[in-house]
Amino acid sequence: MTVARVEKEPSPDDGERMGPAGGLATVNEVRLIGRLSLAAEEKELPSGDQLTAFRVVVNRPRDKRRGSSRVQIDALECHTWVARVRRAAMTWQVGDVIEVNGSLRRRFFKTGGRLQSMTEVEVSSARRVSRAAAATRQAS
């Protein structure tokens, strides 16, 4: 996947993207297209709130400087609070190609008395791009 970066002058329509006193804009936007590698799982938090978590695997571009021919991947943990996305995610199967849009979030937690952190994608919208190959064959 190739990512193009386009820079433009901030316009008055950018509103909330403008930094303090018209400084540089800050943006936290993520778009992933990859394979579902861990089926969606619904979780109920102690507060009673519902969230759905899943994992998306994306291929990294090959690094020609390192001379490696191995395909490298990133497995990214995703979660969503959005009911529409939660319902859709529960219908996806491992291997489905999905597209997610959202923001990066870093959360902190204690495990065994040690403070740890994890970076996740908080998904605001998502869709299945294509079914897993095995699911397509079974349907025929």
> How many Å apart are CA 36 and CA 111, to the nearest integer?
27
**pLDDT given for residue 105 in this prediction:** 94
Tens digits of pLDDT across the chain (140 residues):
444 444 445 555 555 555 565 678 899 999 999 999 999 999 998 889 999 999 999 998 777 776 666 778 999 999 999 999 999 999 999 999 999 999 999 988 888 889 999 999 999 999 999 998 865 555 54
Query: Would you state the structure tokens that stand for residue 23, as one six-digit string?
Result: 């400084």
> How many Å apart are CA 1 and CA 60, to the nearest integer?
8
> How many Å apart are CA 77 and CA 55, to the nearest integer?
5
Helix, strand, or coil here: 139? helix
Please tell me the pTM assigned to this model: 0.72
> How many Å apart are CA 103 and CA 117, to the nearest integer?
16
CA 79 to chain centre: 8
**pLDDT given for residue 19 in this prediction:** 59
Comparing CA positions, the residue from 129, 71, 139, 60 lying closest to residue 100 is: 129
**pLDDT given for residue 5 in this prediction:** 47
